Chain A
């Protein structure tokens, strides 16, 4: 195997002054966490870049597949190594440049000679390697300033290192570098996308889901668990709080007129979420709301719902079109799961014509006849908590069959 290590360039965090070391440490831990199944990774950090040592092909493949999902990485490059011998170096240069054989490109060779005992100086190495590579590829031409591809050669004491490929990363900031928030995860298309976007900005997430058995099935809950698990692929654990919501929904249906029941339902959900947020020490609540998408997402509705708390509510999708949201959902791999047709607690008890412009005073008036607080307390206390990704695989009941 020619590969020796992967070089990682930090994203935005390179500019983040005093907190920089924290960010770097966070990124390193997130990488370790995302690739925990590869065993212990040897990661070396520097001010502006980080190196992961590569031990075998399988590890390389897993890292190449997984690194583009980790936030806080601007780009990364596989680094190859060979003996400090001109013939070996030429051979390796060809192997690496093979990656680009199908495109018309400008390139140059950049040499750094850390090992000053190496017989050739950097200029001669550059000439030798460039002169060897160039005639073999019709598609390459030399350009010294801003070439498309830079073949970087570094003669160090132990080996010669070489790289050319620059693979774009996910950008953003390492998850966890910007505090923790609670995501309201419904099982639809929007909320996982909202969660993803906040993770991209470095927010660590816990998720809350409202479950109304027997009206919603175990399948709908399984679907939400799958979504929560999908989100962990972007580099952090997620705890999912499942709230038993049936009691509250039944009371709303009994006591609140049907055209505002949806607003009340949302308000109760937000109250529950806010209590959970407080318990877990999160700073904000994240929702997948997008302005005007449904009756509960008009400005009037959002105002009436928001009135139950002062906690910041982050709505990263507020200005996105549905199609834009679907695009992101497909890209991050949650779309297929989201569109599975299971009822969630928002779609049952849906009134025929919910008010798109509910009046806060009226909603509060209707709610005042019932004691929701006790039910909310109970729902919060009786919640079930799941941790993703699942650490141990459950015993495989299908193994014998396959």
Chain B
């Protein structure tokens, strides 16, 4: 009999909640009209879209008119970075980001560099965290955009975004964008009045919603150059017929995520401690990349001189699904830029694997995972451990 699959790759994507799938079906059945149409059906789906917008706005503490629905985290990041940088070019051409951002941020700023922008990257320490002093030193009067991710996708480091926001707002006129794809629904996050970020990226499929849905939200209306051009939907900022079912599903997933956040965080924290304790028994065979201060739902570790791919395959044989450091870069053979940034010992660079928890993971799954990882480590590294 095939054992139950234990899915521990929730930072790559999650399984949608049942309720969210029901919403998606129901909206497609009943409110499929184009929300921009002026007939009664269009008006109705527009009303529903507005409600979804309001729900997301309430969670983030902004107004509905500042919430754009997009096709996902990558589009939100691209839209924010191109829109804010190009729209504020007259104020300056200096951009600050970090060396451990998601590729959708890094590739966007590289493109802007070709257009004449000057890009500076904040380094991270061994815990994967930026230094606020470095931000203070690098920020200038002509900085127009600062983009810092809230939680890193490869090892879960939490960046001090609220402290960073204070610096950005005090020292420059720059817009402060936060990629919150990995943190939304896991850590408290909102625009926090005047002291928070200006712009936040959220992805639907990381919070048990759907792939192909995301949000880009603003604290207030901003100087902006639209990135997707066309029919002027989403207040002219993101053209393209709005995917109402995706938007409503995302709003529902976001509500459930925020409502259950506390309870899940406690669970994840306990599991993480349990696994850390087990891995500690393997001494220097296992190196844990995620510092104890990291987000509770991500734990990255590396096995000395073993390729990540080998570990993943070995664990998969026992029904446990984990990932190399990130799903996006897992097919590439070179070491990820995040792992490089952490400056860890060569012996541990190739074997980074990431486990990430989600709402459907159970305590039994974790117990099973621990059994499997121990078994796999004994198989691969037994001779060193005996």
A binds B: yes
Q: Is the CB of A401 within 8 A of B40?
A: no
Say yes or no for A124: interface residue by CB 8 A criterion.
no
**A218 vs B43: C-alpha distance when bound (angstroms):** 10
Determine the chain B residues whose CB is within 8 A of the CB of A342 once the complex forms.
Answer: 38
Say yes or no for B251: interface residue by CB 8 A criterion.
yes
**A402 vs B251: C-alpha distance when bound (angstroms):** 6
Count B-side interface residues using an 8 Å CB cutoff. Answer: 15
Looking at the complex, which one of B38, B40, B252 makes contact with A402 (CB distance below 8 Å)?
A: B252
Given contacts A219-B38, A342-B38, A402 and B26 within 8 Å (CB-CB): no
Q: Is the CB of A402 within 8 A of B248?
A: yes
Determine the chain A residues whose CB is within 8 A of the CB of B27 once the complex forms.
Answer: 401
Say yes or no for B375: interface residue by CB 8 A criterion.
no
Looking at the complex, which one of A217, A398, A400 makes contact with B38 (CB distance below 8 Å)?
A: A217
Count A-side interface residues using an 8 Å CB cutoff. Answer: 10
Q: Is the CB of B52 within 8 A of A402?
A: yes
Give B384 Cβ to nearest chain A Cβ, in Å: 54
Given contacts A217-B38, A342-B38, A398 and B48 within 8 Å (CB-CB): yes
Residue in A closest to B40 when the chains form the complex, CB atoms: A218
**A341 vs B232: C-alpha distance when bound (angstroms):** 15
Q: Is the interface of B mostly helix, strand, loop or mixed?
A: helix
Determine the chain A residues whose CB is within 8 A of the CB of B43 once the complex forms.
Answer: 219, 222
**A401 vs B19: C-alpha distance when bound (angstroms):** 9
Looking at the complex, which one of A217, A218, A401 makes contact with B26 (CB distance below 8 Å)?
A: A401
Q: Is the CB of B38 within 8 A of A401?
A: no
Say yes or no for B61: interface residue by CB 8 A criterion.
no
Determine the chain B residues whose CB is within 8 A of the CB of A218 once the complex forms.
Answer: 40
Residue in B closest to A342 when the chains form the complex, CB atoms: B38
**A219 vs B42: C-alpha distance when bound (angstroms):** 11
Residue in B closest to A399 when the chains form the complex, CB atoms: B51
**A402 vs B249: C-alpha distance when bound (angstroms):** 7
Residue in B closest to A220 when the chains form the complex, CB atoms: B38
**A218 vs B40: C-alpha distance when bound (angstroms):** 8
Give A255 Cβ to nearest chain B Cβ, in Å: 32
Say yes or no for B131: interface residue by CB 8 A criterion.
no
**A222 vs B38: C-alpha distance when bound (angstroms):** 12
**A218 vs B38: C-alpha distance when bound (angstroms):** 10
For chain A residues 200-239, which have a beta carbon within 8 Å of chain B?
Answer: 217-219, 222
Say yes or no for B93: interface residue by CB 8 A criterion.
no
Residue in B closest to A218 when the chains form the complex, CB atoms: B40
Give B61 Cβ to nearest chain A Cβ, in Å: 13
Given contacts A401-B26, A402-B252, A341 and B48 within 8 Å (CB-CB): no
Determine the chain B residues whose CB is within 8 A of the CB of A402 once the complex forms.
Answer: 23, 51-52, 55, 248, 251-252, 255
B33-67 Cβ-contact flags toward A at 8 Å (1 or 0): 00000101001000110011001000000000000
Give A401 Cβ to nearest chain B Cβ, in Å: 5
Determine the chain B residues whose CB is within 8 A of the CB of A401 once the complex forms.
Answer: 23, 26-27, 48, 248, 252
Determine the chain B residues whose CB is within 8 A of the CB of A219 once the complex forms.
Answer: 38, 40, 43
Give B222 Cβ to nearest chain A Cβ, in Å: 18
Determine the chain A residues whose CB is within 8 A of the CB of B23 once the complex forms.
Answer: 400-402
Residue in B closest to A401 when the chains form the complex, CB atoms: B23
**A401 vs B47: C-alpha distance when bound (angstroms):** 13
**A222 vs B43: C-alpha distance when bound (angstroms):** 10
Give A228 Cβ to nearest chain B Cβ, in Å: 18
Q: Can you report 10 A-B residue pairs in the complex whose CB atoms are below 8 A from each other?
A: A217-B38, A218-B40, A219-B40, A341-B38, A398-B48, A398-B51, A402-B52, A402-B55, A402-B252, A402-B255
Residues of A within 8 A of B (CB): 217-219, 222, 341-342, 398, 400-402
| A-B complex: 8 closest residue pairs judged by Cβ atoms | A401-B23, A398-B51, A398-B48, A401-B248, A402-B55, A402-B252, A402-B251, A219-B43
